[in-house]
Structure 1
Amino acid sequence: MKQPILLLTLLLSTIVGYSQEIKFLEYSYSEFFRLIQEEQDSVFVFENAIVTFNPATDEEFKGFFKQRDSIFQSESFPEKVVDKEIQLQNVIFKSRIIESQKYKGEKVTVTEGAFIHFHFLKAVSLVDVYAFNCFNSKFENSFYYENKEICSTDQSLIAGISNSNYFASNEFKNAFFRFNCESENIIVFNNKFDIDNNNRRFSLNFIVNNNRLTSFGKNRINGSRLVYLSQNNCQWVDFRDNNFNTTTQISISNMHGLNRLIVKSNTFEKPVIFDIDKFYPVKYSVEWKQFDNELIADMGLGPYLAKIAYEKNIQFNPFDDQYLKQYIDSIRIADEDAYTGEMGFRGFFYNHYKSIFDNENANAVYVNLKNLETKRLAYLYKNNPTFDTFFTWKINQFLKVFSAYGTKPSRAIIFSLYVILIFALFYLFFPNSWDSHGKHRIIHRYSFFLKYLRRNQGIHEVYLEEKQPELLGYEHFRQMIEESEYEVPRFFRATALPLYKWSLSGTKLTAAVLSRVDVMKGTWQEVPPAHRWWKGLLLIGAFLMALAWDVIIKILNALMLSINTFTTLGFGEIPIKGLPRYLAIVQGFIGWFMLTIFSVSLISQLLN
């Protein structure tokens, strides 16, 4: 027993002694770059060193910016081209980011100890590198950055240095980032990432563990392979304004401390595989509309992949574009486990938005959830065609079209207006009790003007002749008043005569106006040829105005009939006959359906 303990003690003492023997050599940034230039080998290997900013010699490694994507320097330095493969391990960069500094009368942020305007032609590998900042640089081959054991570095070496990493306005090819050590800030801003079509599972990795602030913003990612963004055990994560034209997987877990998450205003041109362990109200801002191109729930895709790997022992790339399209279009609808996971994940989003009273995003999630449900119902009907499954499926489709599943009552109103206008067009060609002249209205108008042009009478006289049947009734009423002068109380005579005069006032006023605007004296044949052109022009204009009035009245009658039929679920108060009677029944049925949908949708929104 003593022998193993002795061996273990010797081994530990050897390891401790070895770690204590590591000596860190110190260089300035300009000296570090000179070492790269003087390296004769095609690979520059650099380990166990400290690179410190020297104000006297390192002006080329100092920058100023008012915004992260617009860094500038005290003078225009030439681009630094590096044609060697770079391998750094266990290197501490003593860099600083100083905010609110004065430079030429302006308030700026100063970065001391940054790689600015570098051009790396070959692969760059940084392992256990502390506080690396890079701006306006280009990485032609590949970029690998991983922190594994830098946390165990002697604290006296990094005293007063913030373990922050800034990458802004760079161009990367096949980049890999893994931050495993606790750090302050990781800022990746306004970079361009180009991805080769290689055989790796993830073509761009951005993995962060144990970090205070992660900001990944305004980056452009181009390629044909999967992008993997993972944040674990972080306090503040901010993903916004990025453009992804690749399939993207985002994983958020174990948020703590400040516990703030922002994922918004990103553009995803291909599907997004999303995984988040929980939502915290208020502190999380995850915008739904950025996932328009299809959101895949890891809690749906993951169990399905595990199941087929176990049951069928199939080896394939599940993140291939063609397979993901198949998963979106059919697998997650047909497979119960995948469907349950997808619906449950959307339920998390829906409940989160409702808890923070974000009805706009909540409604958008609900519509997406119901669309998936409708596809599932269509699949169930196809495999088990019953009236129950058919009816449920069609009701969902109907609600989708006419009210967006109850989230937009206005859509029901819009469709109702279309129905009213379409049926009004049919009613326009059929008379009803409101339209007493019906299709003869225009014929009567022609008859009136033809009679006026052929007779030696004024237009007001022709008008009064047309009104004669109506005027006879008023005349009989007047005679009755006069004959009963001494047979009835004076009250009736005193009130009846004004009523008689008021009834005739409209006709008399119209006749008076017509007599004043009458341009003809006698028949059309008696009009001198020199006056015919302008009188004819006036008469045609008057006729067209009267005709337009008749058409407007006819349209209004048809529209009122359609509104009456739609809202009263049938004929209402306007009797109709013939074909329109059957059309009214159909319109009444549609009105009943649409008004019901509108009422339910409106009540649902009011309750929300």
Structure 2
Amino acid sequence: MYFTRNQIHSNFWNYLFLTNSEFLSFINNTINTDLLFGIDKIQAEYEMQWPITNHKIIPAHYIFANSESLSGLNNKKFDSLYTNTRVTDESYYKNELTLLSKFHSYFTDFHDRQSANDVYIKIKHLETERLEHLYEDDKSFKNYFEMIVNRFLERFSDYGTSPSKIVISSFKIILIFAFLFLFSTNSWNKINLNRYNKGITQSINYFTTDATIIKAYEIDENRILQNTNTKAALVTNRNHVPKVFSFFSLLFINTQTKLIEIKLSFWNYLNVVKNSWHELSSFKRVVYSFLIGVLMLGYLLIKVLSILFNALTLSINSFTTLGFGEIPIKGIGRYLAIVEGFIGWIFLTLFSVTLISQILS
């Protein structure tokens, strides 16, 4: 039997029941109407479409089973039946579950994952509505917990059918906690005030005296002196230590000294203030002021990006429960990290289960 490429448009409830046959092709139909729909059994040889219709569906088997009490129904009464009885009447609920389960089993057997997922989501929507009704009648913890779990699965994973939705939700949670961590005391972002004060003092000394940039900022002065003293000690005691030790030690010191000299040459190249700042020409002061401003803004930008990156890293670390050894935050941030870790554990578990189920389906 072929039922294909049909166009059905109506503002009234229509009846469609597919009986058993050796072959059935029910595809490419456009059904824009509410349906009393039924099918005995979906066999492997059948070709079926999903959705049957985007409008309301009442299981025909429910109508058959309750024909005496439901006789004489009109369009408005069918609407009322669908709205008021769908989850409150256990017989109706089970008939609709049976109908949807037939389609889910059919699409699962044919590895049509998209259609199977769509049917499964519809089944779980129906189950959630049923649980909400049961909770209204009996406000027990069991009913409440099952209802909340279903709502959670719907919101974040389409009832375990969408791993990508979990990833997107997880990323949003990570960003939210990263924002909160910005306002928490974090040892990663600790500012060394002594270092900043020393740097400011050295800068003042550089701009107001004739000290070179190397002298003012004490760049590697101690290392040069230390290398010189160590080299002198090695030369003096060359005959009193193993030659191989003396050879490799001198090689190491000479290499280090050469690298320091290259570094100092670079800093000498940047030594633009030869005497003092006020002795520079107006043009040079304008140019150097601009360059110094760019450098300071660049440093500030790097510092801000570092703080943002640290907050994001901390949030990812908490969410994935990788652990820190010691949590690098204090105060309320510690508790936020624990809360995020618990949320992350739930989401990562849900993601793993959802991904595996989709791979194996």
Q: Same fold (TM over 0.5)?
A: yes
Does structure 1 residue 369 correspond to structure 2 residue 115? Answer: no
User: 1:263 deviation in Å?
Assistant: 2.8
Judged with a 3 Å threshold, the aligned counterparts in structure 2 of structure 1 residues 255 and 308 are, in CA distance, closer, same or farther, namely closer
Contact 2:63 2:70 in 1 (8 A): no
Which is richer in strand? 1
TM-score (norm 2): 0.81
Distance 1:507 1:591 in 2: 47
Counterpart residue identity of residue 38, structure 2: D
Q: 1:483 to 1:555 in 2, by over 3 A?
A: farther
Q: Can you list the C-alpha shifts for 1:130-150, whole angstroms capped at 9, x where unaligned?
A: xxxxxxxxxxxxxxxxxxxxx
Out of 276, 294, 297, the position equivalent to 2:39 is: 276
Q: Look up the match of 1:299.
A: 61
Q: 1:459-538 alignment to 2 at 5 Å?
A: 464-465=217-218, 483=233, 512-517=265-270, 519-538=272-291
* Distance change >3 Å, CA 566–CA 254, structure 1 → 2: closer
Distance across 1 between alignment mates of 2:232 and 2:309? 41
1:416 to 2:165 alignment: no
**Deviation readout 1:194-231 (Å, 9 max, x if unpaired):** xxxxxxxxxxxxxxxxxxxxxxxxxxxxxxxxxxxxxx
Larger radius of gyration: 1
Equivalent residue, structure 2, for 1:386: 140
Distance 2:151 2:211 in 1: 66
Q: CA deviation at 1:441?
A: 9.5
Q: How far is 1:586 from its partner?
A: 0.9
In the TM superposition, residue 388 of structure 1 has moved relative to its aligned partner by: 1.1
| Structure-2 residue corresponding to 1:237 | 3
CA contact (8 A) 1:474 1:500 kept: no
Task: Confirm or deny: 8 A CA contact 1:367 1:404 kept in the other structure.
Answer: yes
Counterpart Cα distance in 2 of 1:244 and 1:506: 84
| Deviation, structure 1 residue 393 | 1.1
Tell me, which stretches of 5 or more residues in structure 2 are unaligned? none
The equivalent residue for 1:254 is: 19
- Change in CA separation of 1:594 and 1:583 when aligned onto 2, cut-off 3 Å: same
Query: Of the two structures, which has the highest relative contact order with CA contacts closer than 8 Å and spacing of 6 or more?
Result: 2
- AA in 1 matched with 2:4: D
CA contact (8 A) 1:260 1:284 kept: yes
**1:453–1:523: 8 Å Cα contact kept in structure 2?**
yes
Aligned residue type for 1:416 = S
- C-alpha separation between the residues in 2 aligned to 1:282 and 1:595? 40
1:4 counterpart residue number: none
Is 1:349 aligned to residue 107 of structure 2? no
- Deviation, structure 1 residue 514: 4.9
Structure 1 residues 511 and 294: alpha-carbon distance in aligned structure 2, compared to 1, 3 A threshold: farther
Question: What do residues 372-417 of structure 1 show as CA deviations (whole Å, max 9, x unaligned)?
Answer: 1011111111111111111111111111112211111222222221
1:595 pairs with 2:359: no
The equivalent residue for 1:583 is 336
User: Post-superposition shift, 1:280?
Assistant: 2.4
Q: Find the partner of 1:560 among 313, 331, 334.
A: 313
**Hey, what's the Cα distance between the residues in 1 that align with 2:107 and 2:193?**
57
Alignment of 1:301-316 (within 5 A): 302-303=64-65, 306=67, 308-309=69-70, 316=73
Please, which runs of 5 or more residues in structure 1 have no aligned partner? 1-234
How many angstroms does 1:237 deviate by?
1.8
8 Å contact kept, 2:4–2:29: no
Amino acid of the residue matched to residue 3 of structure 2?
V
Structure 1 residue 340 displacement after superposition: 0.5
- Which amino acid in structure 2 is aligned with residue 264 of structure 1? N
Q: What is the correspondence of 1:427-466 to structure 2 with a 5 Å cutoff?
A: 427-437=181-191, 453=207, 456-457=210-211, 464-465=217-218
Superposed CA deviations along residues 312-334 of structure 1, whole A, max 9, x for unmatched, are xxx552x22xx555444442111
The 1:358–1:601 alpha-carbon spacing in structure 2 relative to 1, beyond 3 Å, is: same
The code of the aligned residue for 1:397 comes to R
Q: Distance in 1 between matches of 2:55 and 2:254?
A: 73
Contact 2:150 2:159 in 1 (8 A): yes
RMSD: 3.8
| Distance (Å, rounded) in 2 between the aligned partners of 1:282 and 1:482 | 94
Q: Which residue, out of 37, 40, 49, partners 1:286? A: 49
Q: Deviations over 1:22-63 (max 9, x none)?
A: xxxxxxxxxxxxxxxxxxxxxxxxxxxxxxxxxxxxxxxxxx
Distance verdict in 2 for CA 1:594–1:472, change over 3 Å: farther
User: What is the CA distance between 1:364 and its match in structure 2?
Assistant: 0.9
What's the secondary structure of 1:274's corresponding residue?
strand
User: Whole-Å Cα distance in 2 between the matches of residues 508 and 327 of structure 1?
Assistant: 90
